[in-house]
Amino acid sequence: MKRILKVIGILIMVVLLGAAVGLSYVSFALPDVGPAPELKVASNPAMVARGQYLANHVAVCIDCHSTRDWSLYSGPPKTGTFGQGGEIFDQNMGFPGKYFAPNITPEGIGHWTDGEIYRAITCGVAKDGRALFSIMPHIAYGKMSMEDATAIVAYIRALQPIKQEVPVSESDFPMNFIINTIPQKANHQPIPAKSDTLKYGEYMITMAACKDCHTRMEKGSYIEGMEYAGNMEFKMPNGVLRSANITPDKATGIGNWSKQAFISRFKMYQDAANIAKVDGKSMNSIMPWTMYAGMTEEDLGAIYSYLQSLKPIQQEVVKFSPH
C-alpha cells in the first residue's frame, strides 16, 4: 500500500510540475509572433484616404475606438471622439474580463513605432508585448494586404490628438492565460481584382470581420458548419440581441434579397433622418450600420455576391429578447 501511495504521490507531483511548466510557458513565452517589424510607413494623401475608408467603413476600427452615442440606433460614434478609445467590453456583456478600447490618437500611441501599431492591428500584440483580446479581430485583420494594413497605420497617425486616459484591459481566469495563445503572425493576402467578384467579396467581408458576429461560438471557437448563420448572442442593458442569419437560406436568411435590397439596407443609414432615437426599452443594435453605410456600393455588392455563394443554412433567429 505504501508503495502504491508513493507512486501516486510521484504521479501527482509530475502532473503538477507539468502544469506549472505549461502555465509558465503560456505566461512568459507567449504570445510568440516575433518582434515588431522595422517598418516606416511612407504616408501620402492617397494612402491616408484609403486608410480612412477602411478604418471607418470596412474594418471599422473607429467604431470601438471612439465614444458611441447609444441614444441613437446602432450607437454611431460621436463627432470629436474619433480614436480616443474608452469603449468597454466587460462581464456584463458576457466577456471573460474587462476590456477597454485604447486611445489610438497620437496622444495615446504617438510613442509607438509604425511597426508596433502594425503588429497590434495584424497580430494582436501591444507595444509592451501584451496579448490583445480578440474583440479586435486581429486574426481577420492579419489577412488583409500589406498595403491596406499600412494604409490604416497611416490614417491612425493622421488622427486628431485627443487627450484621454484609458484603463488597461484585464482578463478573468482562465482567459488571463488563454489570451496569450490567441495572437498569431499576419497572413497577408493580396487584394483580388474587383472583376473577380467572389474573391474580392471574400477579401472585403474578411476585413469587415462579419463572420465574428454572424457565427455562433462555443468555448471560443466557431461552431463548424454554422458560418454566417447568425444567432450569436450579445447581452444588452435591456435584453439579449442576436445576430442575423446572412446565409442565402430563403426561409431564414437573405436568400430572397436582391443585391440592390442588400446595398440599400446599408445605405439607408447614410441619411441622418434614418438614425432613430432609442430609449432604454427599445431594441438597439451593436452593428455599426452608420459606419458600414459609407462602404462603396461596389464593395457592398461584392460582399453580397460572396454571401450568396455560400451554403444556405436554415436557422431561425429571434432578433431580440427583452428582460
Indicate if the pLDDT at residue 20 is higher than 90.
no
Measured distance CA(176)–CA(96) in Å, rounded = 9
- Write down the residue that cell numbers 450579445 correspond to: 234
Which H or E element spans position 218? strand 217-218
pLDDT band of 32, cuts 50, 70, 90? confident
Average pLDDT over residues 186-193: 98
- pLDDT over threshold 60, residue 171: yes
User: Taking a C-beta distance cutoff of 8 angstroms, is the pair 276, 70 a contact?
Assistant: no
Interval 62-90 mean pLDDT: 95
Q: d(Cα 42, Cα 198) in Å, to the nearest integer?
A: 31
Among 4-8, 18-22, 204-208, the least confident range: 18-22
- Residue 18 has what pLDDT? 47
CB 279 within 8 A of CB 68: no
Q: What mean pLDDT do residues 230-237 have?
A: 93
Q: Are 204 and 303 in contact (CB under 8 A)?
A: yes
Q: Which of 266, 248, 268, 246 is nearest to 256 (CA)?
A: 248
* DSSP calls for 65-128: TS-B-TTBTT-PBPTT-TT----EE-GGGT-SEEEE----SHHHHTTS-HHHHHHHHHH-B-TT
* Residues 192, 145: Cα–Cα separation, whole Å: 10
Alpha-helical (H) ranges within the chain are: 2-24, 45-57, 61-64, 106-109, 114-123, 138-141, 146-157, 175-178, 197-207, 210-213, 259-267, 289-292, 297-308
pLDDT(13) > 70: no
pTM of the model: 0.90
Contact 245, 229 (CB under 8 A): yes
Q: Are residues 224 and 216 in contact, defined by beta-carbon separation less than 8 angstroms?
A: no
CB 25 within 8 A of CB 253: no
The per-residue pLDDT for 3 is 53
